[in-house]
Structure 1
Amino acid sequence: MTPDVDRNREFFRRKPRALTDKRTTVQDAVSRLVSDGDYIGIGGFGTNRIPTAILHEIIRQGKKGLGLSGHTATHDFQILAAGGAIDRVDVAYVIGLEARGLSRAARRLFEEARIQVCEWTNAALAWRYRAAAMGIPFIPARIMFGSDTMRYSAAKTVTCPFTGQKLLALPALSPDLAVIHVHRCDKYGNAQIDGISVSDADLARASKKVIITTEEIVPEEVIRQDPARTIIPAFCVDAVVEVKYGSYPGNMPYAYFSDEEHLREWLSADSKPETLEPFLRKYIFGTKDFSEYLELCGGEAKMERLRRIEFLEEV
C-alpha cells in the first residue's frame, strides 16, 4: 500500500466535524461502511477488546477481498481468515492465540498462498499508524535491520540528512476502516478506554472511516466528567454501536475475562476443514446477530462467571 498522504489529508479535511448522532446497528454499520476490497485495522491487543460483533457480521454479509493490519491480532484475524473475508495481511502477530496454541486454519491459508503476507514488527505497524495520523509519508526507525522481518516487509532504507546514519523508512498506513471496541462512548463518537489503549488513538486518526462498538453508550456529560480517558474524539468516528459484552470471547479489561473454554473449542475446530465448517455454521452463519451468538455460548450466566474471574472472585 503506497502512502498517498496528500489525498488522505484532503479526505480528512473534508470529513464533517459537526456533533451528530452516530448510533446505529451492527448490520447497518457493516453494510454501509465495509466494502469489498477495503483495508481494515482492528483495535485492541491480542484477545483484549476484540470487536467480535462486527467481525461476525462481515462474514455473514459475505464481504470479500479485505486487507488487514495484523497488529497484535489473534482471534480477530483468525475468524476473518477462516470466514474467507481476507486475502492480504500486514502481519506482526496473527497465527498464535498466545499461550493457548496456534490457528491451523490460518497456517493453511498462508501455506496455500491464499493470503498475501507482508511482515512487520508490532512496533513497526504502530509507527506506521503514527505516520499516517501525522500526515507524513513515512517515519524513520532503527528497528528490523538484519532480520528476516525486514526482508519480507515493504520498508526501505534511507540516509539521515543530519548524521549520515542508515535508517529504516516505515511507510504510513492509512486503513480504509478501523473497527475499535471501547468501554464507553457517547452518541457522537467520543470514546473512552480503560487500561491499555495500544495504538488505537493513532489508528482512529489514520483511518478514513471508524466504527466504534462500545460496552455502553453514555450521556455526553459522563464523557465530559473525565475527558482524559477520551482516547478517540468524535470527529474521527462514523458509526457508534452499543454491543454489551462485545469483546467476547476475548477479554474486556476491568469488565470480564476471556472465555478460555470457547477459545479452546475454536482452536480444536479450526484444526481441520471438516470441523471448521460446522463451527462457522453453528456460531456465525447459524446466528442472526451477536446477541444470539452470545446466548448460544452461555448468555448472561456465562458472562457473570467471566466477570467474577476478571475480578478474582470465587466462581
Structure 2
Amino acid sequence: MNLANNEFYLKIQELANIKGYSITITDFISSGENERGLASHYVDYQQRKIIISIPQDHSEKEALFVHELIHAELFLNGYPRILRSPEFKYSEQDNMLADEIENMAHHFLLYPRMRELGYMHSKENDKFLEKVKKEIDIVNKGPAAIEAAFNVLEADYRDYEKFKVLDPSFEKKNPQVYSLYRRFKRLYSISNNPSNMRRAILSVIKEVQNKAKKEAGITLNYNFLFSVPPIPTDYEKEQFCSKFYTIGKIPNTKHHYIFDKRDNQCCNILNGNTYSLQEVQNMLNEKKVKELFN
C-alpha cells in the first residue's frame, strides 16, 4: 500500500501547499516499551514541514496515517497547539502532560472526522480499551491520576459504544480518576472551533495544575512554561498589541515572553538574540495584533 496515493493525503497535501508547508512521510521507529503511540506527527516551523511517521508493517497503517493527517489538517486550519520554549528544560512529566492536553483537544474532533472519512484503527482501539480497564483498578494521585483520566477520555473518544460498557463499578472503584475524566470531558466539549479549543486547553491546563498541587503538592507553571498562541477575533486583529498583550518577566531568560493580559497565558516567544526588550515593547505599542499574530 502506497500511503502517498491516499486520497485524503492528497487533499491535505494541497492544503499544506496553500499554507506554505510541505508534508514528509517517514517510517516510525519505536523507542521502546514506554512509547506513547504507534505513529506521530511533528511540525517544523522553521523549515515549514509537517513530518508524519507511520509504522510501515502495521496492519492498520492507513488508518493510523489518516489519524496523523487529521492532526495536520487541524493545525493547518488554525487549531491551537501547545508550544515549548527553546531555553527551558522540560521534564518527561511536563512533556507527557502537554502532549495529552493538546491531543485530547484535537481528538475531540479527530475521531468523528475519522469515522466521517470511513477509517478507524479498531484493533488498536480494542487494545487501548483493555489497557484502560486494567488502569482503573489502580488508585493514583497527582500526575499519575491525571494521566489515567486522560486515558479514560481517550478510550471514550475512540469508541464510545465499547467504552460505555466499561466496568460499571469504575465510578465507585476509582472516584478520583472518574471525576477527573468527567471534568476533562466537559471542559473539552466546547472545542468546536479554534478559539473555543484554545479556551478548553487553558481550562484543562488550570485543572491539571490545581490537581497536581492539591493531590501531590506539585507546582506546575504551565502558563509560563508553555506557549499557546492566541486566536484573535476580527475586532482584536485591528487593535494595537499593547491593548491585550504584555511582556512577562521570567528570571534568567534571554528570550521575550508575551503574555495575554486576560488569561495570563504565555502566547508568543520572541528571540532575545534578534530583538531587544525595548524593540519588543515598541512592537507591542506600534503593531496591530494581526501583524504579530498572523
* TM-score, normalised via structure 2 length: 0.25
More strand by share: 1
Q: Comparing both chains, which one has the higher relative contact order based on Cα–Cα distances under 8 Å and sequence gaps of 6 or more?
A: 1
Instruction: Provide TM-score, normalisation by structure 1.
Output: 0.24
